[in-house]
Structure 1
């Protein structure tokens, strides 16, 4: 450019401000802000690691993701804990039912014969209900069975069945011995 003309950088700053009305200048400012946000988002997405976990049902895919979340310091907030509560209740009911059924099929006697009533009570629970099907059992429903489940878990017959869990499919309760 000739020496008497302003440089390009001066034109970039002065020209829009001088020739545009307030609305157009505001639109340009918003456009630049959006471009900066998109650039930051693009950088974030490039750093994002995506994993495809394949496996049979109940093979531990969700558990793996939850453990990774905890290991990397992203603990569960109160809402996430509340969301998992119904699933946990549902899994405990299903698990104790499997143990009661397995105890009978494996011909393991009750440690305390009075636990037969608790076993019958738990086995009468309707696992086909809509709440059980989507794993969202309410706390009030679970608490009706809590003392029976606690007594059953303490029974030596149920513990014996649990020790023999390799002989039947026990979903979601592995690693609980002694709790």
Structure 2
């Protein structure tokens, strides 16, 4: 009987050893996978350009966009140009800019009858957009766009209304990069480079979306915080009393000093540098930073903004890499 128990025990131990070996092998595979996986968390306030960077990864490492996505972007772009004209018409009223009598009638009819949510554009709507966009007062309203809310890419698309409204229009990669759709929820893109799996996670930057950020904090390899350099004289969509860059700095400070990220590598992308270079010629940096005393050169103003963000990081000696960039420039990205 003792021999039977001994034989049974040996059999059990052998089975357990075999099972342990399987578990060890599985754990080794999981550890290897974790060693070769890089999770990048992409954060920033609304309209900073985070989603444009994700689109660039789609172009650079995933071979571009599938046909159904291209069709969706076409519909969004067509809806957007109608929305841009409506915003410009509304801003003319707010800024006391008198549209010519003839164009005022076209504008009134456009606001009353055209649904900006629909991608359909009739010949009459196309002609109205082209006519209104040529109006000097709408052009003036565009130049004063820091006084209200108008997406940066509005001119890029409105200048090409004729092409966009044509039946054979197909958005180019540049069109898709410039097309703005607010990120809602969490978007993720994965690709392999040099035997590493890269996971880039983009979470919506609007105030209502930021509560979702904390759910993405685990296992982050690198934190990338995106800043729209050109927003220093603009106000928030959610609250026009608040400066966008001041909001961005506040969010940046709270995020990068969070316990989850204190030991993580940090990359700061000072984005939209192309727009900033043009804007700083006309609008002083003191519109955001009243204490700024340097000149209005791109070199001094951009350096001041960079140092402003870097000064918010509490942990000394942390590896931080700031870059000036333009997310719509594929070569630069």
Which deviations, in whole Å up to 9, do the C-alpha atoms of 1:23-78 show, x marking residues without a partner?
xxxxxxxxxxxxxxxx8xx86x8655443222333332222322343355733343
**Could you tell me the TM-score, scaled by structure 2's length?**
0.33
Deviation at 1:126, TM superposition (A): 4.1
Q: CA RMSD in A?
A: 2.9
Which deviations, in whole Å up to 9, do the C-alpha atoms of 1:115-147 show, x marking residues without a partner?
1122112212345xxxx2xxxx33xx3235221
Distance 1:65 1:94 in 2: 24
Residue 111 of structure 2 aligns with which residue? 123
Larger Rg: 1
Mapping of residues 1-179 of structure 1, within 5 Å: 49-71=38-60, 74-110=63-99, 112-124=100-112, 125-127=114-116, 132=117, 137-138=118-119, 141-143=120-122, 144-171=124-151, 173-174=153-154, 176=156, 179=159
Distance 2:80 2:45 in 1: 18
Q: Looking at secondary structure, tell me which structure has more helix per residue.
A: 1
Which deviations, in whole Å up to 9, do the C-alpha atoms of 1:66-101 show, x marking residues without a partner?
234335573334332111111112221211111111
**Could you tell me the TM-score, scaled by structure 1's length?**
0.57
> Secondary structure at the residue paired with 1:53?
strand
Runs of 5+ consecutive residues of structure 1 not aligned to the other structure: 1-38
> What is the aligned length?
127
Runs of 5+ consecutive residues of structure 2 not aligned to the other structure: 1-28, 160-333
